[in-house]
């Protein structure tokens, strides 16, 4: 049997979502719906002010890596970490993200 084969062993195309979910599962990453909310609805989750100066840049297990455009906004983000985690849990209906790492990267 062809390991890349679709349902029933055929070589017919199959939905990409299933393959992505399996891949994310092997990486111990949050489900696709959780990632879509984090990366697709960032300004709704954290608010317009924070979103204007930050972006989610990676997920490492249960840790979300956030990149801010200045040290001042990174400090603000760290100060609001618990509130951001609560908002993430509410928005994603999941507690898969339980920690944040905040980095600074200047936008040029």
CATH number at residue 98: 3.30.300
Q: What is the pLDDT of residues 16-25, one digit of tens each?
A: 566 556 655 5
Question: Where in the sequence is the domain holding 25, given as residue range(s)?
Answer: 15-104
pLDDT tens-place string over residues 32-72: 778 889 999 999 999 999 999 999 999 888 899 999 999 99
Residue 23 in any domain: the answer is: yes
Report the C-alpha gap between 68 and 20 in whole angstroms: 28
Name the pTM for this structure: 0.72
Residue 3 located in a structural domain: no
CA–CA distance, 15 with 88 (Å, rounded to integer): 27
Closest to 88 measured CA to CA, from 68, 106, 73, 51: 51
Give the total number of structural domains in the chain: 1
Could you write out the DSSP letters of every residue in 7-20? Answer: GGG------HHHHH
């Amino acid at each position: 049997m062809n390991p890349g084969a679709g349902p029933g062993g055929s070589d017919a195309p199959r939905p990409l979502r299933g393959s992505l979910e399996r891949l994310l599962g092997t990486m111990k990453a949050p489900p696709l719906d959780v990632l879509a909310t984090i990366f697709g609805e960032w300004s709704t989750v954290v608010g317009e002010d924070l979103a204007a100066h930050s972006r989610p840049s990676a997920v490492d297990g249960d840790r979300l890596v956030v990149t801010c455009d200045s040290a001042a906004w990174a400090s603000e983000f760290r100060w609001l970490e618990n509130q951001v985690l609560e908002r993430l849990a509410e928005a994603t209906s999941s507690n898969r993200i339980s920690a944040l790492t905040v980095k600074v990267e200047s936008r040029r």
